[in-house]
Amino acid sequence: MGQLAFLKLFLLISIPTDINDNRRHIHIFKKGQRHLKSVAKIWIEKEGEKCVEIDYSELSSKENAMLVKAIEDNWDFLNEQITKSFNGEKTVVKNLEK
């Protein structure tokens, strides 16, 4: 897994085996959970263009809005890191709270 960023209690992760999915996306995991399980999946593009949409989420509306805004605000960085993850390169982890 390619860790991309963290925001409050959330880790934003790219899974390199997802390279064959039809759209780029980010999985959201909660920090400190005993078992790693994605609590949300957020699309970040559609047909190569920026398009941030929630695919599924177990989170509150407030948490979803916070994550979508952070992804939109940091889209270029996150997209570059996903490319690195898919290429097997080391990703840079960014704190999105700053």
Q: Write the pLDDT tens digit of every residue in 40-85.
A: 999 999 998 999 999 999 999 999 999 999 999 999 999 999 988 8
Give pLDDT, residue 62.
96
pLDDT, residue 92, reads 86
How many other CB atoms sit within 10 Å of the CB of residue 77?
15
Q: pLDDT digits over 6-17, tens only?
A: 777 899 988 876
